[in-house]
Structure 1
């Protein structure tokens, strides 16, 4: 598998095995199938695993921990996360450390290579588009981020518990741009990269969130990029293989599936599956170090591995995909 430059680690495999599928966020799978999927990923050259406590309430981390038993982890890199929010009692370090301690237990490790903030950034007086009543849990204010989160991350680095820290590139545009241009920028950012340019259901902070703005800022600032949502929660695949959430939370993902009909038609004309084409699109975006996969089984992983071997899209193909929705 292709290796790409990634400043924090030196090089990463072009594909990263994400924990969403392993934690059954994207539909049901068995523990055995999840373990076999991790083994298959490692056997095919994937050297970065991206998990989080939120993926199946620790299930994804536990799967990775079990899968790595008896295996050498010398050439592997592990990323996990913490949904920090904006704690009213300002105990950011304690919250991060407690989350990380549980992650270590799940993973069977004493350190991770990258720790990401899993909550979304907002300015202090910003009112969220959805779930504003839960802003202290789901969003981190800029003052909390600068005054407490960054110092806590740096303390964890000094304690030898993490090598690097970063953020998710989703939230309020203005807050994210401020963070990216701060004197202490993140070592890595997870940016949404897909032909729809959509964050889907997780864009609950801002109704008009534009992932491309954050991606381009990271490219311009040479901040390492990990691509997420390549298939936009299933909207850019042949079929949504899960039922809508009863709460209606993920309705935007299913709306995106309908919107993506021209993409599926074009994929058919080009003789490729929609999921394969979507992953190749993300792999073709400049300065993307690795594309994080949300696969939940070996069949889905095999499709992504095949897509990676097909190489990047041509400039004309990329433009055709960009224009597909830009013109709508």
Structure 2
């Protein structure tokens, strides 16, 4: 691993660093499945800061921390003064004096960077508006489990290409040498700065940015995410109309020409009417499915929920690698 004990964004790490984390995640998964205790960080204390709500990230950090023997304290948006009555820097110094590690899930990448700089303890990025690095270890862990290796794989992300998931998939694929295509309308494609970072850290991957849905041809995996990110203020109807041609459905699957293609989604997914939000969207816009159809979701649900479970194993590996020498 690099000297950086925090896990803030993918470009802080080399290909070997990330591969080591993926392999360690798989080892921790084996221990969990065999119910072999691994309280390697017994007695340490970590804080989980959540400015954005969460199911998988909060659950993964909590269970992973407890499995490793740590005491876990949750700090929700309404429970601390981060950036409101107390600056991020002051909060970092306070929490760093009490905890051995800090997770942050929120909005600004600058905030998680400031926590890492001023707390004096490892900080883990549970998601910001720019990057979602812990998701990447789980995603590429899932790909390695499914295909046996990452070598020679080609993946495609389709939908809103400017969000944190598209950014992280593009850059992480480049670092790992996995061919990646980002398919999105031209106005929703990754920013030039993100594309430049991907090229700067590329270890041999083919990187493609396009608005052509036919670019899914030959890929091994299709990936999508919600069309409106948490906290994003947009005209929802306009966004839906814009991205409906980029929905993962049976026609898009057929365009891959690969009967072994898999589908992944970081969740939550709007694929049916079994949520209040899903029902509201249907009532207002008449759409029962958004970024992925229920047919495709159900067919590939085993992989999608394997990916979700892997959040816990990969986060365990990330925290252990940061704290093992304390």
Bin of the TM-score, shorter chain as denominator length: 0.3 to 0.5
TM-score scaled by length of structure 1: 0.35
